[in-house]
Amino acid sequence: MTPPTLNPLLWTVPIIPLLPLGGAAINGFFGRRSSKKAITTVALAFCGLAFFAALLIAASFSSAAAPYSFPVAHWIRAGNFQVDFSFYLDQLSLVMLLVVTGVGFLIHIYSVGYMWDDDGYYRFMSYMNLFMFFMLTLVLAKNYLVMFIGWEGVGLASYLLIGFWFTKDSAASAGKKAFIVNRIGDFGFLIALFLMIKHFGSLDFTRVFTAVRPLSPETAGAGLLTAIGLLLMVGAAGKSAQIPLYVWLPDAMEGPTPVSALIHAATMVTAGVYMVARSSMIFERAPMAMMVVAIIGTLTALFAATIGIAQTDIKKVLAYSTVSQLGYMFMACGVGAFSAGIFHLMTHAFFKGLLFLAAGSVIHGIGGEQDMRKMGGLRVYMPWTFLTMSIATFTIAGFPPLAAFFSKDEILWKAYSSPYGSWVYWLLGVITAFITSFYMFRLWFLTFFGDYRGGNANDAAHQPAIAHAAHDHSDHGHGHGEPHESPWVMLGPLVILAILSVGGGWVGIGGHFEHFLAPVFQSGATVEMAREATGEAAGKGTETLLMLISVGAAFLGLYLAYLLYQKRRDLPAKIAQSLGGLYQAVANKYYIDELYAVLFVKPVVDGSTTILWHDVDQGVIDAAVNDSADAARHISDNVRHMQSGNLRSYAGWVAAGGAVVIAYMVWMGVTH
Amino acid sequence: MIPLSYYLLLSGILFACGVLGFLIKRNIITIFMSIELMLNGVNLSFVAFAAQWHALSGQVFVFFVMVVAAAETAVGLAIIIAVYRTRETLNVDRVNLLKL
Amino acid sequence: MLHLILFLFFGTICVAGAINLLAQSHPINSALSLIAVMASLAGEYLLLGAEFVAAVQVIVYAGAIMVLFVITIMLLNAGKEERTKGSRIAILIGVPGVVTGGVLVAWTLLHRPDMQTIPIGALKGDPSDIARLLFHDFLLPFEVTSVLILIAIMGAVVLASRPEAIARPHHSTAGPQEIRELVATGKDRR
């Protein structure tokens, strides 16, 4: 480990998380009485400073001198176990730092325009800055415990921001659901941390990985590292919305669209992927855990994609798309292609952030409507939004030479060729890519082409067919006028993200990106050597073939969507009817929420009511207090008879007491 | 030549009679007289012990006890008169409430 | 021998008087019994050689205190005691308590075989010796008791006085009825 560098610029690393914290504090405490201009300035300034500092750091970053660590303060000293507030900068955290600050800053700018008319503007800006603080703590942490602080903190910020319009029941419930499901994942994370403390004596990355390095891979059976890996995966599944803990992400669309873009697309949900990538040393020595990660990722990708086909709310489609793309990232990590997973994380931040922001622009422009069946033909009304969203849609479908083509292709290739991978992963990945392309273009056609089907913005007759879609934004009632383009404060970030979506993948050409991240993922496991060998052996020919197949899948999806939603508009309804029950199941998200409600929620709530409330709270705690008061009353009721006011009874008591004293004295005199 | 214990026994009997009177009697004045009886019993034991130890201060102490008994009697009877004025009764069982 | 006879004589009168005090229902009878007790106690004191105390006993106790009792009984016109229910505690707990205590004390006293005996007239002391003790060693208690007596006198006067006697000056022209009203409403005193 190198000592802190001579370059003083790099010492701003510990300060970077504190900048948005300062902004959050100022806006939180003083924002209520400040002008919107002041709030905006504070929020954007601190966030922008963080981004600017990140750029400077990137400029002075030297791979040779990496990794850098920045111990800031002591924290826990308990015997041999110690944890400090320390920060860490290596290639992986640098990439995450740039993504988080960059995309975060753009979304902050966007939300200035989006949330301007909201009463809780200052609160929103404060929460957004607070989220940035926690996310930056997470990615810059040097040990698992500081990372956990950021982990929990982003969960908190997510809760606050999902339930931002807390007067709405559905929003408040969605916030609660997100936090609670996250906590379930955190339980697994914590157990993994405890195992690490017990067996490695530390939570510091360097120490843990140094202790893990000499261990041999657990190919024989499940051991300590498999347990840790699986538990970490539980935590990641909660935070990054994988099976079975993904249910909170679609509900999280109750929050404002910038929140969905920042937290539930670009940054927070990627924390799980980051954590798994960071723990690559552990995972590579636990093949069983890797397999579980890959399986969960692949299944989630396919599962969520199928649900996305039948959604009618534009944000819900994007939510399930996020779950699906996160599945891709986990698939990549599960087959050992950690840098591919991070690559896709980066491009996903660009195009998914862009998709959400553009969707927000669409919603904003048509007065709050989110149902795609009420949209259509909007490319005429909002050309810039149409342009940027189209770029994003083509990107996510995987068309070359846009960004996601490179990252998704990398993942599919590694899924096929890696020693942990198999053609099954690859096949399911390609099918998912096809479905992804299909539903994204479905969204594209429904929203921007055809005739405008929208009526009033505050139409109360919304079909409650699909679960809970919050349509009524209180702050976007721009009247029942025509759809209109969004202001430039919102379009600017869209354009920048579009540029990044186009060119963001070019860093992956020739393996530059993978090469850059290689020092982080050099785990020294024997499998890694085999991996490189096999990768080359499979040959360039197979790779090109597979690439062509995935591009073909993208085109197929585009064609199918064109067919169903542009050319023959009547077909979708007919298909839906003929599929009958199957379609209903997909449209209702396979009834997973209802299943969970019956399996988990209801027993817990009932148990809580019966046991904890009636038996413990009322029966024991309240009863203890009430009964002791009752006992006091009864005792005093009985004792008060002693004070009768009758002189002779008093004298009687005195005489009896005197007899007792005399007896005692006699006894003492006799026995001594 | 009488053993000391005989005097003390007599003193004890007087004292016990005083306490019994306090417990049994219902007239305030009679109760007060039982208190005087108790004091007398105690005086007797003082003097008996003074005789045993040949200490004259025993007698002096009896003197003081009598003085205090006199003062106490005066005040006590005054209180009894006041109580009789307000409660119209000398029965101690009737005088058990602070406020009428 | 004579000592014992005299002791028993006076002692019997004492105990008889005490028991008679308990047995009589009219307080005046109880008072007279008490006088008998005190007189016999004076005899006991003489047997012990405490002449001064015996004299003081007769003069102060039997002569002044008991007279005060008798005056009060006659002033208040106390009649025979009524039999009221009273308190169960006193009978149930108090009497056994007293009896137990008495038995214990008696047992302790009679149990010891080596009790000293006291000859007749054992206490040797002139009144001059007593005076020396009183005004020399016990001067402070002596003076304090004199203050005590003064306070007792004042207290007795105040407590036993009629409310009208120390009513406010401008009430002095009030008649008995008005004064009774003043007493009832508590306006008679300052």
Substitution target in A642, A646, A647 with the highest count of B β-carbons within 10 Å is A647
Tokens of A70: 């920045």
Q: Do B25 and C22 touch (CB under 8 A)?
A: yes
Q: Among A512, A57, A527, A47, which Cα is nearest to A285's? A: A527
A95 versus C124: the higher-pLDDT residue is A95
Three-class DSSP category at B14: helix
Q: What is the pLDDT of residue A507?
A: 81
Instruction: Report if residue B99 sits inside a domain.
Output: no
Q: Among A17, A106, A91, which Cα is nearest to A350's? A: A106
From C112, which residue of chain B is nearest by alpha-carbon distance?
A: B5
Does the pTM exceed 0.90?
A: no
Instruction: Report if residue C85 sits inside a domain.
Output: no
Q: Are residues C2 and C73 in the same domain?
A: yes
User: How does the average pLDDT of chain C come out, rounded?
Assistant: 85
- Give the span between the Cα atoms of A489 and C170, in whole angstroms: 95
The helix (run of H) or strand (run of E) holding residue A330 is helix A314-334
Residue B79: pLDDT above 80?
A: yes
> Percentage of chain A with pLDDT > 90?
39
- DSSP secondary structure letters along A533-548: HHHHHHHHHHHHHHHH
Task: Domain of residue C56: give its range.
Answer: 1-80+116-122
Q: Are residues C73 and C3 in the same domain?
A: yes
Centre a 10 Å sphere on the Cβ of residue A548 and count the other Cβ atoms it contains: 10
Burial annotation B48-87 (CB, 10 A radius, 16+ → b, else e): bbbbbeeebebbbbbbbbbbebbbbbbbbbbbbbebbeee
Q: What is the pLDDT of residue A380?
A: 85
- Domains: count for chain B: 1
Instruction: Report if residue C142 sits inside a domain.
Output: yes
Q: Are residues C76 and C143 in the same domain?
A: no
Q: Do C149 and B3 touch (CB under 8 A)?
A: no
Instruction: Report if residue C189 sits inside a domain.
Output: yes
Q: What is the pLDDT of residues A571-620, one digit of tens each?
A: 777 787 787 788 888 888 888 888 888 888 888 898 888 888 888 888 88
Q: What is the pLDDT of residue A1?
A: 45
Provide φ and ψ at A81, rounded to 5°.
Answer: -90, 130
Look at the block and give the residue holding tokens 């200490």: B55
Pairing relationship of beta strands C117-118 and B2-3 according to DSSP bridges: antiparallel
Residue A470: pLDDT above 50?
A: no
CB A347 within 8 Å of CB A262: no
- Give the span between the Cα atoms of A317 and A557, in whole angstroms: 16
Task: Domain of residue B88: give its range.
Answer: 4-94
Burial annotation A96-118 (CB, 10 A radius, 16+ → b, else e): bbbbbbbbbbbbbbbbbbbbeeb
From B26, which residue of chain A is nearest by alpha-carbon distance?
A: A648
Q: Are residues C1 and C76 in the same domain?
A: yes
Torsion A645-A651-A652-A653 (CA) sign:
positive
Which of A442-451, A538-547, A620-629, B19-28 has the weakest average pLDDT? A538-547
Instruction: Report if residue C87 sits inside a domain.
Output: no
On whether any CB of chain B is under 8 Å from the CB of A597, the answer is: no
Instruction: Report if residue B74 sits inside a domain.
Output: yes
For residue B95, list chain A residues with Cβ-Cβ distance below 8 A. Answer: 645, 647
Q: What is the pLDDT of residue C174?
A: 63
For residue A647, list chain B residues with Cβ-Cβ distance below 8 A. Answer: 31, 92, 95-96
- Give the span between the Cα atoms of C54 and C75, in whole angstroms: 29
Instruction: Report if residue C44 sits inside a domain.
Output: yes
Q: What CATH number has the domain bearing residue B53?
A: 1.10.287.3510
On whether any CB of chain A is under 8 Å from the CB of C106, the answer is: no
Helices (H), chain B: 4-24, 28-53, 57-87
Instruction: Report if residue B55 sits inside a domain.
Output: yes
Residue C83: pLDDT above 80?
A: no
Q: What is the ipTM of this complex?
A: 0.91
Report, as an integer, the average pLDDT of C93-103. Answer: 89
- Domains: count for chain C: 2
Q: Do B93 and A651 touch (CB under 8 A)?
A: no
- DSSP secondary structure letters along A3-63: PPPS-GGGGGTTHHHHHHHHHHHHHHHHGGGS-HHHHHHHHHHHHHHHHHHHHHHHHH--T
Q: What is the pLDDT of residue C13?
A: 96
CB A13 within 8 Å of CB A70: yes
Instruction: Report if residue C104 sits inside a domain.
Output: no
The band of A471, judged by pLDDT with boundaries at 50, 70 and 90, is very low
Instruction: Report if residue C94 sits inside a domain.
Output: no
Q: What CATH number has the domain bearing residue C44?
A: 1.20.120.1200
